Amino acid sequence: MTPYYLGIDVGTGSARAAIIDSSGTICGLAINDIQLWNPRANYYEQSSEDIWSSVCLAAKAAMAQSGLKPANIKGVGFDGTCSLVVLDRSGKPISIDPESSDGENHRNIILWADHRAGKQADKINATDHEVLKYVGGKVSVEMELPKILWIKENLQERWNKIGSFFDLPDFLTYRATGNASRSICSLACKCGYVPPDTSVSPQQGWHDDFFQSIGLAEFINENYSRMSTSQIFSAGQKVAGLSQYAANELGLLEGTPVSSGLIDAYAGIVGTLAAKIPGECGNILMEQRLAVIAGTSSCHILMINRPLFVDGVWGPYRDALLRGHWLNEGGQSATGKLIDWIIDTHPFSIQAKTLADEKGISIYDLLNEHINTLQKRQNLPFSSKLTKDLHVYPDFHGNRSPLSDPTLCGAIVGLTLDVSLDALALLYYSTLQSIGYGTRHIIEAMNNSGHNIKYLYMSGGLCKNELFVKTMADATKCPVVLPKYVEASVVIGAAICGASASEAMPIDGDKRTTLWDFMERMNGTGQIVATTAISDEIEYNERKYMVYLNMWKDQIHYRHIIEGKN
């Protein structure tokens, strides 16, 4: 029987299911929305029950679309956002919303984008503990430990009832199998766990003195049972088979192998980083490939065969994806969300969306077309020169990398009273450029610390936008490689992990195939987007990048003035 594999991806706003065959071709794809609560500024909450319900609906819809039978599915893989799932001692949801009443426990997830735990992040970072060097010197407010500490300090009654903390990908495998094991990916990247590697750190696993210093000493006495188990798996390893209960909910067979969970950006690497480029694939070394998974936010991840420490960039994480390899991860907390915010808050937004609907195209296509019109109207040699008097600094939700400062804000210089389609198109375009310069800032920090990034391997919803992709290439001076399924690479990555867990595709002569082998076989052939060859445009981007850096420095300078430091 021909093997097929199911991938489940839980993003910020939806659950997606994809079924692929042994070559990585999609045979079924379905999406189902999930709920998000934003009760106040910087609070973002979700429900694990709602997410699982959406997962099951998406899986059944993908199966129906494929026409396959449950017996055809030989492996299942899950990925999700790095959000904190909280369960009580009986395994039921317990609310993390401070205003929920007794019995209202469905909102039991603190979303990755939630910034309520800023003070707790500062408290953890003030310890300057050795563990922090594995996250670029500072823990992020978006990671799990600040959120856990916030719950302890603000929800004491519930704290004593909590039985488990899960990073969302690990919750999904737990919900699917009943096995509460954890992944190296989640524990190392978000929870302060140091994977074994005596060449870097003499102490491995959990650092008791670190948890003592940050105010979570009870975890030591509990042997970290609320956060982990003795079973910790690498990506692509089989955790267990589907439980009978979960199999019935998903419309699959009990016992179907389930892979260890992955954070969504890391699943994106699995579905992106081994994309083949005719004539060039063999010449691009793994350590020259920066994976950029661009959606609501963007993650910038590099895999390398040795550990490198980069200030403001997370990692190095050993074994978080491939055994014996380290990963460094940078990121931008708002990219797709920022672009939509810029459009939605502009005075011409409603009219622009009406025009797009009348033409039967997306708002992004409308704006891209108008940018081409403006270039021709002004007789410019290249479109990027349209924004010479308009500059955006993109950290509207703080800076994740390389500055590691969640308090930074966005800025726009060059606004006028113009509220036309022209003004909206130019502001949108300048925002795309600023995201590209933010990525260049991350690349420079990584290369200055020993990396050698030369190509961007990009995927995610933003990559459907050709202008965004071209702008990224020009702003960073790195050609962009796109996989076969640019928008579905994350869920395909989860499905590839399901294939690895099933071990249904051994390579001749090998008893155990690595995850990279599956990636190479199932990523398919992509395309490459070159950087600009126009010397004046290259120089123009250099000057725009200098403005970007100065806008960041100016913001710090303004703070110092207000604080009386200047």
pLDDT band of residue 509 (cuts 50, 70, 90) is very low
Give the mean model confidence (pLDDT) for residues 266-282.
85
Instruction: Give the residue-averaged pLDDT of 60-80.
Output: 97
Position 281 scores a pLDDT of 55
* Residue 101 pLDDT: 79
Question: What residue spans of 360-419 are helical by DSSP H?
Answer: 363-378
Q: How would residue 507 be classed by pLDDT, with cut points 50, 70 and 90?
A: very low
pLDDT of residue 203: 65
In whole numbers, what is the pLDDT of the chain averaged over residues? 94
Burial label, 344 (beta-carbon count in 10 A; 0-12, 13-18, 19+): exposed
CA distance 216 to 139: 15
Q: Given this model, what pLDDT does residue 280 score? A: 64
When pLDDT is averaged across residues 301-324 and rounded to a whole number, the result is 92
The arithmetic mean of pLDDT across residues 33-52, rounded, is 97
The per-residue pLDDT for range 15-27, each reduced to its tens digit, is: 999 999 999 999 9
Q: Please say whether the dihedral angle defined by the alpha carbons of residues 161, 163, 166 and 172, taken in this order, is positive or negative.
A: negative
pLDDT of 202 reads 58
Tokens of 400: 């994740």
Query: What's the pLDDT score for residue 350?
Result: 98
With residue 469 as reference, give the H or E element that holds it.
helix 466-476
Burial 236-247 (b: 16+ CB within 10 A, else e): bbbbbbbbeebb
d(CA 134, CA 141): 15
Tell me the torsion sign for CA atoms 55, 14, 265, 457. positive
Cβ neighbours of residue 382 under 8 Å, at least 6 residues apart?
375, 532, 534, 536, 537, 540
Cite the beta strand spans of 279-389 per DSSP E.
Answer: 289-294, 298-304, 314-318, 326-332
User: How high is the pLDDT of residue 98?
Assistant: 93
Label residue 356 by pLDDT band (50, 70, 90).
very high
How do residues 157-206 score in pLDDT, each as one tens digit?
999 999 999 999 999 999 999 999 999 999 999 999 998 764 555 567 89
Q: Is the pLDDT of residue 14 over 70?
A: yes
**Letter for the amino acid at 104?**
E
Domains within the chain, CATH numbers bracketed? 4-264 (3.30.420.40), 336-448 (1.20.58.2240)
Residue 303: is its pLDDT beyond 50? yes
Confidence of residue 323 (pLDDT cuts 50, 70, 90): confident
pLDDT at 95 over 60: yes
CB atoms within 10 A of CB 18: 29
Q: Whole-angstrom Cα distance, residue 432 to residue 373?
A: 18
In whole angstroms, give the CA distance from residue 424 to residue 57: 38
Categorize the per-residue pLDDT at 2 as very low, low, confident or very high, splitting at 50, 70 and 90: confident
SS3 label, residue 372: helix
pLDDT at 199: 54
Tell me the average pLDDT across 46-62.
98
CA dihedral angle for residue 209, residue 136, residue 294, residue 437, rounded to 10 degrees: 160
Nearest C-alpha neighbor of 343 from the set 458, 470, 431: 431
What single letter denotes the amino acid at residue 46? Q
Query: What pLDDT was estimated at residue 441?
Result: 98
Mean pLDDT over 550-565 rounds to 96
Question: Which of 93-102, 176-185, 256-265 has the least mean pLDDT?
Answer: 93-102
